[in-house]
Amino acid sequence: MRIEKKEIHEKWIEYTLTNDVGMSVSVLDLGGIITKIMVPDRDGNIENVVLGYRNYEDYQANPNYFGAIIGRVAGRIQGASFNLNGETYKLAANDGENHLHGGPRGLHQLVWEASTFESDEEVGLTLSHRSVDLDSGYPGNVEIKVTYTLNNQNQLILDYAAKSDQTTPLTLTNHSYFNLSGNLKNTVHNHQVTIDSSKFVELDSNLIPTGMLLNVSETSFDFRSGRALEEGFNNDFEQNKVAGSGYDHYFIFDNAQEHQANLLDPDSGRVMLVNTNEPGMVMYTSNTMEEGLKLAEGSSRKHLGVCFETQASPASLHHEGFPTVILNAGEDYNKQTIFTFLIED
């Protein structure tokens, strides 16, 4: 196990966590951005399985949120406002009339305080930040810690901890784009996805939840037994078309299977298992990604990666029946997501 530190343009530090069995994860103190995850394929080739920029300067703006911690609230908040305890809070509108991923000055653009730890079995990085009252319009002073742990079972464990002195919305996630083909050799069309979910959130033409939960049965959103992502890319189902020929939807977990989700690339043999105590996740398949961005291993294009954004639902701020994002004053926020990388037998 080891940790390496690299200074980036005298502004940021990139920490690379390496285990004893050939996996490594690189993370910037800027936005907690995961820049690389290096894992072997079935032939032992160790390659990167997340999207990242070729030039580190591009992480400063990072409009695609590559690899970043997202918050205070991940996802879209309708009308860039919400009501809480009789008060109306106005947020920055950075997605048309709506508020997206914590706004233009969200957690993804901050330099976090960093500390590392190491043992015989794991190596890790803890990032800390204090978000002050009315930061981006949200109430409460919130102490946040996000910990990345890599162990010898090729598990990347993300632990999110927070506490606020006022009741406030909070749901944090990581916005890595996974592509298990390795070094962006292919798009994710042939990636097989399984999601333990029988219901997903309906979106309108602005990708805002309508307040309706839809049953996945007999639709391209039924991933309970696994299916290729391209089945949704090429589907005439209205919800696939709304998202730009793909997925950008919140799935509520049934918690009936061993894993909440998994991802398989049949060509490389790489598998990623997802376990979390979050109530659901947004699966986004880079439907609107612009072409020609200079990425570490090539140029960006549509459907080049898939995000598994484990979180609660910001739709709960405007509709009943959705997993709440409200954190009560003084309450401990403790969420965990584990990404386990394996090789298909």
Note the Cα 276 to chain centre separation in Å: 12
Mean pLDDT across the stretch 14-40? 97
Q: Are 101 and 92 in contact (CB under 8 A)?
A: no
Tokens of 300: 């960006």
Confidence class for position 108, pLDDT limits 50, 70, 90: very high
pLDDT digits over 270-297, tens only?
999 999 999 999 999 999 999 999 999 9
- Cβ neighbors of 75 (< 8 A, separation 6 or more) are 100, 101, 171, 250, 282, 309, 311, 313, 314
Tokens of 65: 């949120």
Which of these is catalytic: 99, 129, 175, 249? 175
Q: Name the domain count of the chain.
A: 1
Tokens of 66: 């590559």
The CA-atom distances, in angstroms, between 116 and each of 21, 86, 335 are 20, 42, 20
Q: Are 322 and 201 in contact (CB under 8 A)?
A: yes
- Give the side-chain half-sphere CA count within 13 A for 164: 22
Does the CA dihedral 130-144-195-203 come out positive or negative? negative
Show the domain range for 144: 2-343
Q: What is the DSSP letter of 290?
A: P
pLDDT of residue 54: 97
Q: In terms of Cα–Cα distance, which of 251, 236, 239 is closest to 194?
A: 251
Whole-prediction pTM: 0.97
Strand partners, 156: 150, 339
pLDDT digits over 164-212, tens only?
999 999 999 999 999 999 999 999 999 999 999 999 999 999 999 999 9
Strands (E), 132-222: 142-151, 155-164, 168-169, 173-174, 192-195, 197-203, 209-215
Report d(CA 266, CA 258) in Å as an integer: 21
CATH code, domain carrying 154:
2.70.98.10
Mean pLDDT across the stretch 220-238? 97
pLDDT of residue 315: 97
pLDDT of residue 345: 73
Active site residue 175: yes
> Helices (H), strands (E): how many in the chain?
2, 29
pLDDT digits over 74-93, tens only?
999 999 999 999 999 999 99
Active site residue 309: yes
Report d(CA 331, CA 167) in Å as an integer: 9
Q: In terms of Cα–Cα distance, which of 51, 82, 62 is closest to 171?
A: 82
Mean pLDDT across the stretch 28-34? 98
Q: In terms of Cα–Cα distance, which of 107, 143, 146 is closest to 124?
A: 146
